[in-house]
């Protein structure tokens, strides 16, 4: 046998030996894990793992669980692999505490290599969200200026729930929202119910029956006006009720507003209770598309912000910064009605005409004067004057007004005429005109000299050629 044949035979023997060893080597892995994406707090859910292996024995599965999740059986459980090398391990679990447990549950599988006696293992992380149960509260309002009975259903929990609404308005007529309603976790549903009937006072009652077992009842005093108007002349109102679900916290110079959601084409009314140094008392935020989890802060600034490079003509009462928590909120806002008040004592001490007070908005490196309506005294407050303006967005604002009497210009007294200079020439001696005066004097002297020498008479003498004159008086 030649050398080449020996090498080929050796390679074949090595390949056969290596393949046999690969064939008999054991394997064990987790093929997949099945678990729901979320479960309500206290409810059961199933976690299962599909396991595959070959030449594996004594296979078992275990879970490593975070606090708040419990599963049975506890400890390890034996897993049987079928002839194809597949098996399943399952646990029955529940969440006792709401929270996000994504990637916090570890599924492990272990066994023994039947051929070598070595250890085989694999693990995979998984998890889910445990939702706090739906927790509903309800409120009611009557829209100012119209007979609308508004019912607010607020879900403070994570899980959604369904509910139905029934209404009663005494001798008046009000129709409840039809069908089953769904309110998502951490959101608010507002239902507007039109009330019709003879002029008078009524009591509206709404009963909310939820699938989570809650039954809520709210009542609202309703007034049907004697002569309702159908002509809308202005958006200004003197009394606006805060939209259900809206929260406002205040401190000196700062108001923080939290709004769970505003539906597309709708608005949220926010009354700001009396807060030291904050002149704004009401904001009505309207949106063109739906937006959730809105937070707005209203801050009274001590002075004009450094980022503002343009001054406002007039006297500034307050600089105010209104911030949003995201660009999504800024994009969604269609317009905002802003009501503010100015102390009469400030108007008087600064000689500001109360009719000139306006709200200015700083945007794109320039101040824009917003259309502002003077509302006068509201709510029995006689020491302040209320105003209302509409802004296309929220940013830096200023409240300012013009002088009540207008600017007074003090005339500059005319100077006394200098000796030897006619009064009508006095003005020529001012500023740069002194050069013109000097030039005129020199021109006059030159003319006088030429006259004495008879130049003018010869210049205009028909018989005197120009060349002779020029040569003689060069």
What pLDDT score does 428 carry?
45
What are the pLDDT digits (tens) for 282-307? 999 988 888 888 999 999 998 999 88
Of 68-72, 221-225, 406-410, 412-416, where does mean pLDDT reach its minimum? 406-410
In this predicted structure, what is the pLDDT of residue 198?
A: 87
Residue 312: pLDDT over 70: yes
Q: Flag the least confident range among 115-124, 197-206, 242-251, 461-470.
A: 461-470
* pLDDT value at residue 410: 35
pLDDT at res. 364: 85
Question: Which is nearest to 342 in space by CA: 354, 330, 334, 351?
Answer: 354
Is residue 69 scored above 90 in pLDDT?
yes
Amino acid 358: pLDDT: 93
d(CA 142, CA 206): 13
What beta strand segments (E) does 74-180 contain?
A: 77-78, 86-95, 99-100, 105-113, 119-126, 129-131, 136-142, 148-155, 161-168, 173-174
Give the tens place of pLDDT for each residue, 11-63.
666 555 555 444 468 999 999 999 999 998 889 999 999 999 999 999 999 99
Mean pLDDT across 319-337: 86
Domains defined along the chain, listed by start = 26-131 (2.60.40.10), 136-224 (2.60.40.10), 247-401 (2.60.220), 425-472 (no CATH)
Residue 407 neighbours by CB under 8 Å, 6+ apart? none
| d(C-alpha 248, C-alpha 76), whole Å | 52
Q: Model confidence over 240-286: pLDDT tens digits? A: 778 888 888 888 888 889 998 888 888 888 988 766 678 898 999 98
Q: What is the mean pLDDT of residues 326-343?
A: 87
pLDDT score, position 252: 84
| Tens of pLDDT, residues 93-123 | 999 998 999 999 999 999 999 989 999 999 9
Residue 167: strand, helix, or coil: strand
Q: What is the reported pLDDT for 29?
A: 96
pLDDT band at 8 (very low <50, low <70, confident <90, very high): low
Q: Encode pLDDT of 231-241 as tens digits.
A: 333 334 456 77
pLDDT confidence of residue 241? 79
Mean pLDDT of 449-456: 60
pTM: 0.41
- Per-residue pLDDT of 423-446, as tens digits, reads 544 444 444 455 555 666 666 666
User: Distance (Å, rounded) from C-alpha 399 to C-alpha 384?
Assistant: 14
Q: Determine how many CB atoms are found less than 10 A away from the CB of residue 188.
A: 24
State the DSSP H helix or E strand holding residue 267, giving kind and residue range, or none if neither: strand 267-271
Residue 236: the pLDDT is: 41
Q: What b/e readout covers 149-184, taking b as 16+ CB neighbours within 10 angstroms?
A: bbbbbbbebbbbbebebebebeebebebbeeebebb
pLDDT of residue 273: 73
**Mean pLDDT, the chain, whole residue set:** 81
The pLDDT of residue 464 is: 52
Torsion of CA 388, 394, 397, 402, to 10 degrees: -40
């Amino acid at each position: 046998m030649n050398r080449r044949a020996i090498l080929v035979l050796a390679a074949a023997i090595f390949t056969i030996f290596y393949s046999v060893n690969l064939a008999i080597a054991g394997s064990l892995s987790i093929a997949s894990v099945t678990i729901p994406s979320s479960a309500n707090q206290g409810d059961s859910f199933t976690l299962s793992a599909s396991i595959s292996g070959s030449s594996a024995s004594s296979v078992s599965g275990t879970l490593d669980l975070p606090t708040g999740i419990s599963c049975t059986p506890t400890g390890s459980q034996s897993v049987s692999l079928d002839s194809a090398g597949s098996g399943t391990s399952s646990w029955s679990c529940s969440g006792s505490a709401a929270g996000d447990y994504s990637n916090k549950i570890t599924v492990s599988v272990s066994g023994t290599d039947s051929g070598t006696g070595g250890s085989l293992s694999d693990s995979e992380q998984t998890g889910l969200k445990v939702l706090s149960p739906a927790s509903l509260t309800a409120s009611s309002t009557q829209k100012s200026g119209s007979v609308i009975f508004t019912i607010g259903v607020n879900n403070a929990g994570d899980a959604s729930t369904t509910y139905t609404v029934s209404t009663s308005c005494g001798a008046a007529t009000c129709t409840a929202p039809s069908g089953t309603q769904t309110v998502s976790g951490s959101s608010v549903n507002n239902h507007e119910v039109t009330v019709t009937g003879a002029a008078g006072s009524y009591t509206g009652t709404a009963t909310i029956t939820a699938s989570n077992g809650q039954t809520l009842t709210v009542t609202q005093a309703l007034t049907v006006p004697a002569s309702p108007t159908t002509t809308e002349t202005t958006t200004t109102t003197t009394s606006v009720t805060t939209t259900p679900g809206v929260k406002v916290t205040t401190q000196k110079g700062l108001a923080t507003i939290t709004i769970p959601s505003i539906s597309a084409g709708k608005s949220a009314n926010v009354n700001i209770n009396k807060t030291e140094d904050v002149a704004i008392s009401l904001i009505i935020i309207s949106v063109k598309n739906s937006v959730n989890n809105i937070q707005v802060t209203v801050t009274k600034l001590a002075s004009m912000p450094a980022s503002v490079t343009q001054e406002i003509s007039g006297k500034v009462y307050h600089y105010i910064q209104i911030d949003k928590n995201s660009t999504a909120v800024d994009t969604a806002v269609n317009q905002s009605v802003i009501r503010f008040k100015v102390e009469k004592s400030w108007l008087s001490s600064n000689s500001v005409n109360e009719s000139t007070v306006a709200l200015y908005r700083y945007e794109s490196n320039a101040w824009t004067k917003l259309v502002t309506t003077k509302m006068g005294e509201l709510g029995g407050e006689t020491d302040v004057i209320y105003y209302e303006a509409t802004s296309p967005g929220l940013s830096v604002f200023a409240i300012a007004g013009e002088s009540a009497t207008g600017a007074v210009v003090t005339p500059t007294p005319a100077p006394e005429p200098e000796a030897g200079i006619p009064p009508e020439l006095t003005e020529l001696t001012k500023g740069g005109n002194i050069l013109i005066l000097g030039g005129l004097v020199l021109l006059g002297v030159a003319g006088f000299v030429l006259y004495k020498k008879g130049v003018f008479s010869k210049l205009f003498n028909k018989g005197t050629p120009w060349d002779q004159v020029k040569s003689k008086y060069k």
